Amino acid sequence: MSLPKIDETYFTNFLVDLLNIPSPTGFASAAIDFVEKELSKYKQLKLSRTRKGALVAKWEVKSDLPPVALTAHADTLGAVVKEIKGNGRLRLSRIGGIQWPTVETEGVWVFTSKGEKIRGSVLIDVASGHIHSGADLPRDDKHLEVRLDALTTSETETRALGINIGDCVAFDTRTEVTNGFIRSRFLDDKACVANLVAAIKSMVESGQSPARSVYFHISNYEEVGHGAAAGIPDEVAELVTVDMAVVGPGQESDEFHATLCIKDSGGPYHEGLNKKMRGIAEKHGIPYKTDVYPFYGSDGEAFWRAGGDVALALIGPGIDASHNYERAHMDGLNATTNWIMAYLLER
User: Which amino acids are annotated catalytic?
Assistant: 222
Q: What angle do CA 264, 268, 269 make, to 5 degrees?
A: 105
Buried b (16+ CB within 10 A) or exposed e, 136-156: eeeeeeebbbbbbeeebeebe
Enter the DSSP assignment of 4: P
Q: Which one, of 188, 184, 175, lies nearest residue 74 by Cα? A: 188
**Which positions ≥6 away from 279 have C-beta within 8 Å?**
none
Beta strands in the chain (DSSP E): 45-49, 55-59, 68-73, 78-84, 90-95, 107-111, 117-124, 144-148, 168-171, 176-178, 181-184, 214-219, 238-242, 245-247, 258-264, 267-268, 288-292, 311-320, 326-329
3-class secondary structure, 196: helix
How many Å apart are CA 205 and CA 200, to the nearest integer? 9
The CA-CA-CA angle for residues 213, 218, 221, to 5°, reads: 140
Taking alpha carbons only, the member of 2, 6, 1, 56 closest to residue 205 is: 6
Going by C-alpha positions, the residue among 75, 52, 342 that lies closest to residue 186 is 75
Instruction: Note the helical H segments in the chain.
Output: 8-19, 29-39, 100-103, 129-132, 155-160, 187-206, 271-283, 299-305, 330-345
